[in-house]
Structure 1
Amino acid sequence: MAMAPPTTDAGDELESYSSLGLTVPHSQKGNAEFPKVLLLLSTYLDKTVQQNEELLDSSKVKESTTIFHGQRVPELSIKLYAERIFKYAQCSPSCFVLALIYMERYLQQPNIYMTSFSVHRLLITSVVVAAKFIDDSFFNNAYYGRVGGISTREMNRLELDLLFSLDFRLKVNLETFRSYCLQLEKEALALVLERPIKVHATNGTKPLICNGSVDETCKHELVRERYSSQALQGCSW
């Protein structure tokens, strides 16, 4: 199921960015709720996975197993997994919109379908690639692997597979980005209106903040402190 690009309206653009939580000032991210884009993205992915699995169960199509397919379905929901990535990877909210674009480009290959067995790995890999492409600072794959509950070796393999599948074409024009932002809101509008959900960081933990002015020494200190966090334990699959 590919997201159809809607016609964008310049007047709706800033409102859409703000609604998705993409315009939160960097200095306020530590106190902000999870941006709405995480809820809308996970809702859309859940819907896509359900439709794909129904299609595959009907035996109308043949699925090709990819490197992103795990041996079992992770216990963590897509929504909680997306929130975990945002909380510990400290990437910008825009990375999740860019990640969705990368995921759909990857899924344009013949006989490739996103299911419960592949959506988590595809999401963490796409977010990591997006963070490395657009964010001022990012972490190494050993850290991202711990965030995603996979080994460093697997994180490396998944990243390379995605990059080669996309032919290293990571640039997304502004019009496409706008279209996905507007479409995310439309896809999940009914759910948001019926059951508005507010999710706060647990245990009162204030996430660490990285920005473009952080030097290499500071970056290594942040990684070391994150590795010591007990909250990163118990999420492997």
Structure 2
Amino acid sequence: MGTLALEVETLASDMCLGLGLQDLGKRSPRNPRVLSLLSSYLEKSVQSNEKLMENTQIKDAVTIFHGSKAPALGIQQYINRIFKYSCCSPSCFVVAQVYVDRFVQRTNVPLTSLNVHRLLITSVMVAAKFIDDAFFNNAYYAKVGGVSTAEINKLEMRFLFALDFRLNVSLQTFGTYCSQLEKEVSAVPPIERPIRICGIKDCWQNNEDSVCSQTIAR
């Protein structure tokens, strides 16, 4: 259980309410705003990186997270799908972005349309395991993400080693990322500073049968 999970009783700031990170207690009919902000953040990063690579003719280094082609499912749709079926708390998506940034910084692998989907499903799964009280297993997340169980297992291990298993996210860092997402800042790395955040919620449901399989290109 991570630091954030221990702060369930601390607060409900305006920022948390604005991002939809508050403890809802049950499924909301609407997706929390953090999902659309995160998708915008990632789309801008991908477009910026691919434009830079095209202009400088730099070739992207192929990793285990790269597919042969960009999935037909857009980033926004993919994030919504993960949230719909994974039952993880909205805060997991903020923590997942922290992890993705750490991965990029440590590996120098830029986010592109070929790797962002696998990095997303892996980072959200790892975040849910670290901060949520209840979470699904890897086989279930594989179905949600459109990959095989064997592949999600390999992605998780590579991801964890790339992060050197540094999964703890301080309240200050979490708050900074909330601010960055609110402003949709994608070019400047987040700077840690104190801010109050909302607590983590439990899994809303436990129904694996509702997930329909959709694969992403390998």
Where on the TM-score scale, by shorter chain, does this alignment land: which range?
A: 0.7 to 0.9
Amino acid at match of 1:154: E
Bigger Rg over Cα: 1
Determine the C-alpha separation between the residues in 1 that align with 2:90 and 2:216: 24
Determine the C-alpha separation between the residues in 2 that align with 1:182 and 1:31: 23
Determine the C-alpha separation between the residues in 1 that align with 2:51 and 2:76: 21
Amino acid at match of 1:34: N
Determine the C-alpha separation between the residues in 2 that align with 1:39 and 1:110: 26
Please show how residues 74-153 of structure 1 align to structure 2 within 5 Å: 74-153=71-150
Aligned length: 189
Matched position secondary structure for 2:13: helix
Matched position secondary structure for 2:56: coil
Partner in structure 1 of residue 4 of structure 2: none
Determine the C-alpha separation between the residues in 2 that align with 1:33 and 1:111: 36
Q: Determine whether 1:25 maps to 2:36.
A: no
Higher relative contact order (CA 8 A, sep 6+): 2
Instruction: For residue 181 of structure 1, report the CA deviation from its aligned partner.
Output: 0.1
Structure 2 segments unaligned to the other structure (5+ residues): 1-11, 186-202
Please show how residues 199-210 of structure 1 align to structure 2 within 5 Å: 209-210=204-205
Partner in structure 2 of residue 159 of structure 1: 156
Matched position secondary structure for 2:167: coil
Structure 1 segments unaligned to the other structure (5+ residues): 1-12, 189-207, 211-221
TM-score by length of 2: 0.82
Amino acid at match of 2:204: I
Matched position secondary structure for 1:42: helix
Higher helix share: 1
TM-score by length of 1: 0.75
Following TM superposition, the consecutive aligned residue runs of length 4 or more in structure 1 with deviations greater than 4 angstroms are none
Determine the C-alpha separation between the residues in 2 that align with 1:181 and 1:31: 20
Partner in structure 1 of residue 175 of structure 2: 178
**CA 1:232/1:51 → structure 2, altered by over 3 Å: closer, same or farther?**
same
**CA 1:60/1:92 → structure 2, altered by over 3 Å: closer, same or farther?**
same
CA-atom RMSD in angstroms: 1.7
Report percent identity of matched pairs.
Answer: 52
Partner in structure 1 of residue 41 of structure 2: 44
Partner in structure 1 of residue 196 of structure 2: none
